[in-house]
Amino acid sequence: MKLERAEAIIGYHPQKPQEFYLWEALQVAGSGHTRIVGRPAYDGNKRLAIVGDTAMALALARPWYKKDETLGLSSCRHYISHVLTAKGDWDSQRQRLLSNNNLARVARESGLVECLVVNPRNPVQASTKLAAALVEAIVGAVWIDSDESIDAVRQVMETLRLITLVSLLSIPCI
């Protein structure tokens, strides 16, 4: 039930459902599942969260790097090239979009926190860190399940309203 709900929320159906990557992403440390299809899961979704954090940064970096051709902003190409080339702009944008507070907000607003699998004898409250790790782990599961498709990652991020064209380029064209 929780797995199907999570799939519906993120708008992604696993290509390799027998691997249960998304199910692993829903696990909280101590949920009672120590192995999932032979993979260690004693720490819940933490390993997938690391993968997802990196995949989300890559999903943001690609259009930032290829901004002229990917985003079709020919009318303000010079302005954007000038403003976004500084590493500080990239860092602040990435930190804003991928912060624990923003990811936790997304997890709560989308209803993903209700999909967490916890130990029924030791229920936990979805803290900011736990909710953020959930989003990261789900994206990590999509990344692995989709054979490292950045397009699949971006689609999930867009479905969760984590990114939009506006959030990728929140600067005016003049």
Mean pLDDT of 3-31: 91
Distance between CA atoms of residues 46 and 36, nearest Å = 14
Mean pLDDT of 19-36: 82
pLDDT attached to residue 78: 41
Q: Is the pLDDT of residue 16 over 60?
A: yes
Number of domains in the chain: 1
Q: Is the pLDDT of residue 130 over 80?
A: yes
Residue 174 lies in a domain: no
Residue 112 lies in a domain: yes
Residue 104 lies in a domain: yes
| CATH code: domain of residue 96 | 1.10.1520.10
Mean pLDDT of 52-64: 89
Q: Which of 22, 16, 42 is nearest to 112 (CA)?
A: 22
Residue 170 lies in a domain: no
Which of the listed ranges 1-5, 17-21, 122-126 does the model predict with the highest average pLDDT?
A: 1-5
Residue 172 lies in a domain: no
The tens digit of pLDDT for each residue in 97-125 reads 899 999 999 999 999 999 998 877 766 67
Q: Name every residue whose Cβ is closer than 8 Å to that of residue 88 and which is 6 or more positions away in sequence.
A: none
With tokens 């691997």, the residue in question is 19
pLDDT attached to residue 86: 52
Residue 173 lies in a domain: no
Q: Which of 150, 154, 143, 160 is nearest to 50 (CA)?
A: 143
Distance between CA atoms of residues 47 and 100, nearest Å = 16
Mean pLDDT of 134-154: 97
Q: Is the pLDDT of residue 84 over 80?
A: no
With tokens 């901004």, the residue in question is 67
- Residue 131's domain spans which residues? 2-164
pLDDT attached to residue 7: 97
Q: Name every residue whose Cβ is closer than 8 Å to that of residue 1 and which is 6 or more positions away in sequence.
A: none
